Amino acid sequence: MSNNANSYGAGIMAKTGKEFADEYFAEENQVVHESNDVVLVLKKSDEMNIIVDEILLGDRKDDNPTLVIEDRAGYWWLKATGKIEVDCEEAAEILGKEFSVYDFLVDVSSTIGRAYTLGETFTITSELMGLDRKLENLDAA
Amino acid sequence: MAISAATKAATDALAVNRAPTSVNAQEVHRWLQSFTWDFDKNRTKYPTKYKMANDTKEQFKLIAKEYARMESVKDERQFGSLQDVLTRVDAGNKVHPKWNETMKIISNFLEVGEYNAIAATGMLWDSATSPEQKNGYLAQTLDEIRHTNQCGYVNYYFTKHGQDAAGHNDARRTRTIGPLWKGMKRVFSDGFISGDAVECSINLQLVGEACFTNPLIVAVTEWAAANGDEITPTVFLSIETDELRHMANGYQTVVSIANDEAASKYLNTDLNNAFWTQQKYFTPVLGMAFEYGSHFKVEPWVKTWNRWVYEDWGGIWIGRLGKYGVESPASLRDAKKDAYWAHHDLFLLAYALWPTGFFRLTLPTKEEMDWFEENYPGWYDHYGVIYEEWRARGCEDPNSGFIPLMWFIENNHPIYIDRVSQVPFCPSLCKGASTLRVHEYNGKKNTFSDDWGERMWLSEPERYECQNMFEQYAGRELSEVIAELHGVRSDGKTLIAQPHTDKDGKMWTLDDIKALNCVFSDPVDAL
């Protein structure tokens, strides 16, 4: 858990009753506001639990200090500003077995942002892939 | 001998890139690119007013072998859990009875959506001209077949291993009695497969999947787990592992038309229509299912909606596309009002019309009423007092001779059906964004609840011809309609629907309903 602005219960979500309603119905909140955040939902499994514990909250924790990971019963909920990346070669080493980017996709339950694979890396980014930047093929990597 | 252009292209590609003997999947994907497939001049049965670019990418670089391997692992994990651990621990009977009823609605309705998405993505495969885009759509078609089976399996599982099978086992046979099925078919069927191909993609992928599957398939698993249901998280989180590719397909549809002039003319209107179409049904129905169909509450529905729909879908998907001309949906203000109140409006009507359903509903307890008032200030004075009156009149007991529909008639609160969304509304009681408006067309009066549906109808009135239950059954007695349309349990007389989940409570029968002498009449006749 974290008190980071990306937390599940941050901002307006921390408010209740009339206080929540006042902000929810405020004039400035009647249109969408651009966000550079990304959200990732990982279904709990042996592999995902280890990737969360050992990589995202372990070795790679400093890669993106905005990353928040929360336990939502059947899944891990992740939110970060910018991007979240998982290197499946690194995961394979920690898991002690072959683990490709397609094995990782087995338990990726939802993405809000532009998610893609390149080689053995899974990325979800706030960038508009295909518009701001081209999606790369393996040989250009 | 002359060879075809395709054979020559394959031969040339092989000459440059010799067939590899051992490569990883991403290398195979790259190799496949060199076949220079050309669908640019293909004719399609499903045209679109937009020009879809021929170089659109598929974000996950899928090949058939890896796709099949991924999906088989998912199925092994899902069915392994269900058939081993969950059956052994009697998981079906540990579900709270209220939530057991909620899953009759959610899983049956999602099954219909998945089924129609098979056709929708097949259509998109035919319309697209980019090989990679086609590849993404094709994988989605296969996914939707899997999901249809998974949803069917959830109901089969609840029927076989759970409690109160009626409604889980064959809900579809009741589909013409009440209004909920028709509204669901408007979003899950018509919205996905009728009209312009790109519009269908916006409905299905950019709005239905990228926006509403997060509360419908992800957030629902928290509510399920909180209410003792370990079956739904096991299946639904597995379904959602395919949805991220579908969301990417919807985004790539927008990428593929971003440079087309038609996008600047039509895209914002199509997006707003799709958003309103989907939210008009999902917002109240999901809110009702979560808050009124559970015993243990996770959080107010409006917060779930605010997170997944407004902040995340609105900000991360739509907000980021602003520099490419995509605007905040014009209907957002009304949608937000609906997210706060419309599910309360809907439950009031759903409970009043309970005999027309295929599930059991429960009035809020005192503890739940306090929860509603705390989270939706003003709830008690508007809704709570009505439920207390209904309870005092014995609405749960067949001996009372009272169903809440009678209260609406006694108090002159007519219920109408919105022609476009097929969602029922009561203008004199609703606090959501619904007000009554009427148009006469071809000698028939049509009622509408909002500006956005009204606008869609005015531009295409022939598209919204579906008869509602008041038109369909005008002059007929309620128990006769329920019996004829299979709304009874296997004893042939007890209703599938009930106004309580008390296992010791008396169940309503056709005779109890017949004694009320409720005859359908169409409220528009009085307008």
Tens of pLDDT, residue by residue over B180-198, are 999 999 999 999 999 899 9
Q: Taking CB atoms and an 8 Å limit, are A128 and B27 in contact across chains? A: no
> What is the per-residue pLDDT for A1?
45
Q: Taking CB atoms and an 8 Å limit, are B374 and A139 in contact across chains? A: no
> What is the per-residue pLDDT for A3?
57
Contacts of A75 in chain B (CB under 8 A): 218, 221, 233, 237
Q: Taking CB atoms and an 8 Å limit, are B240 and A34 in contact across chains? A: no
Tens of pLDDT, residue by residue over B387-440, are 999 999 999 999 999 999 999 999 999 999 999 999 999 999 999 999 999 999
DSSP H helices, B293-399, are 301-305, 332-352, 366-375, 379, 385-392
Question: How much is the pTM?
Answer: 0.94
The ipTM estimated for the assembled molecules is 0.95
Tens of pLDDT, residue by residue over A65-117, are 999 999 999 999 999 999 999 999 999 999 999 999 999 999 999 999 999 99
Among chain B residues, CA nearest to A37: B316
How distant, in Å, are the alpha carbons of A33, B408, B419 from that of B436? 31, 17, 11
B296 touches chain A (CB under 8 A): no
| DSSP string computed for B25-59 | HHHHHHHHHTT----TT---SS--SSPPPTT---T
Dist. CA B358–CA B343, nearest whole Å = 19
With a cut of 70, list the residues of chain B below it in pLDDT.
1, 20
pLDDT band at A24 (very low <50, low <70, confident <90, very high): very high
Q: What does the buried/exposed string (b/e) look like for B281-290 if buried means 16 or more CB atoms within 10 Å of the residue's CB?
A: bbbbbbbbbb
B40 touches chain A (CB under 8 A): no
Tokens standing for B132? 């990679």
Residues of B annotated as catalytic are 151
- Chain B interface disruption, residue of A22, A43, A45, A120, most B CBs within 10 A: A43
> What is the per-residue pLDDT for B437?
97
Contacts of A36 in chain B (CB under 8 A): 320
> What is the per-residue pLDDT for B37?
75
Q: Taking CB atoms and an 8 Å limit, are B258 and A35 in contact across chains? A: no
Residue B83 near residue B159, CB atoms below 8 Å = no
Minimal Cα–Cα distance from B314 to chain A, Å?
Answer: 5
